Amino acid sequence: MLNLSEKKIVVTGGAGFLGRQVVDQLLKAGANSDKITIPRSHEYDLRVLENCQKLADQQDIIIHLAAHVGGIGLNREKPAELFYDNLMMGTQLIHSAYLSGVEKFVCVGTICAYPKFTPVPFKEDDLWDGYPEETNAPYGIAKKALLVQLQSYRQQYGFDGIYLLPVNLYGPQDNFNPRSSHVIPALIRKVYEAQEKGEKSLAVWGDGSPTREFLYSTDAARGIVMATQFYNESEPVNLGTNYEISIKDLVELICELMEFEGEIIWETDQPNGQPRRCLDTTRAQEKFGFVALMSFRDGLKNTIDWYRQNPQ
């Protein structure tokens, strides 16, 4: 087990939705708050090599969460930015960490790296069996390249880097911006605004048939910290719940929890995204004992309650 109490730890994206939870879980696992660095993008643009070098200097652990990321809308609007920004941030930070003698690098990848048609549940060994879903591909491939980098640096240099694949995250303090949010916060905001305006219908992209799996942010953060402490191998590891739900059922559940009784209008001219998503979570449980604890219904209720208190 990696003792965190005296380690100097950098958490990129540490002020973000997942990052705040990761920092909290690090503290619960014994890390010293005075030794945790949370770089902000206006101070450390990680697309610039010199910033990565400065950040990695004299650090023991780097947990790389920072990403330029969003939902289908952003993926369609800015594929070039998503590819370039995520590739450059990650690859330069990994190289800088290696040169600086960082003890451990934890890279948080993306479920978007999986092939469009992956047998369900997704197993880590299936990661290279096809091309990602087209709207996700620039982001997914950029992040997947970091797995190759970490594996090759381990092989050649003995550099201890691990790679985690969390499924879609959700929870309080998520990004509810309609231009860049993922499906759960986008739907919660849509229903909330429909209720505020007294509308009797709700338009939703696609036809409702795709399935997704969702991981509560606190569970994801706990899994990341457990992997930091207990996992030291080159193979990627899924973080999820192994619970699959269709978009249609998700919309109906959110409407039920928010007491919205209007008509759902499916915009079938808009993209569905990947047909199915559900992870095999065996490796995480076997390698470092991670099991998600939050039930999906309770997690959704917590997220809805938070947004109602903090509408944006």
- The response to whether 18 counts as a known ligand-binding position is yes
- Could you tell me if 306 and 258 are in contact, meaning their C-beta atoms sit under 8 angstroms apart? no
pLDDT attached to residue 52: 98
- The response to whether 289 counts as a known ligand-binding position is no
Q: Is 81 inside any structural domain?
A: yes
- The response to whether 79 counts as a known ligand-binding position is no
The H or E element that residue 37 is part of is strand 36-37
What is the rounded distance in angstroms from the CA atom of residue 115 to the CA atom of residue 40?
32
Question: Which CATH number do you get for residue 164?
Answer: 3.40.50.720
Q: Is 19 inside any structural domain?
A: yes
pLDDT attached to residue 201: 95
Mean per-residue pLDDT, 76-88:
95
Tell me: the pLDDT tens digits for 107-135? 999 988 999 999 999 999 999 999 998 98
Mean per-residue pLDDT, 237-264:
96
Annotated catalytic residues are: 139
Q: Is 46 inside any structural domain?
A: yes
Greatest C-alpha distance within the chain: 62
Residue 133, domain extent: 9-170+214-242+277-293
What is the rounded distance in angstroms from the CA atom of residue 35 to the CA atom of residue 125?
36
- The response to whether 300 counts as a known ligand-binding position is no
Q: How many domains does the chain have?
A: 1
What pTM value is reported for the model?
A: 0.93
User: Has residue 76 got a pLDDT over 90?
Assistant: no
Q: Is 183 inside any structural domain?
A: no
User: Has residue 272 got a pLDDT over 90?
Assistant: no
pLDDT attached to residue 113: 94
Tell me: the pLDDT tens digits for 5-40? 999 999 999 999 999 999 999 999 999 999 999 999
Tell me: the pLDDT tens digits for 184-220? 999 999 999 999 999 999 999 899 999 999 999 999 9
Mean per-residue pLDDT, 293-311:
97
User: Has residue 240 got a pLDDT over 80?
Assistant: yes
What is the rounded distance in angstroms from the CA atom of residue 83 to the CA atom of residue 196?
37
What is the rounded distance in angstroms from the CA atom of residue 115 to the CA atom of residue 120?
11
Q: Is 128 inside any structural domain?
A: yes
| Segment among 25-29, 37-41, 220-224, 267-271 with least mean pLDDT | 267-271
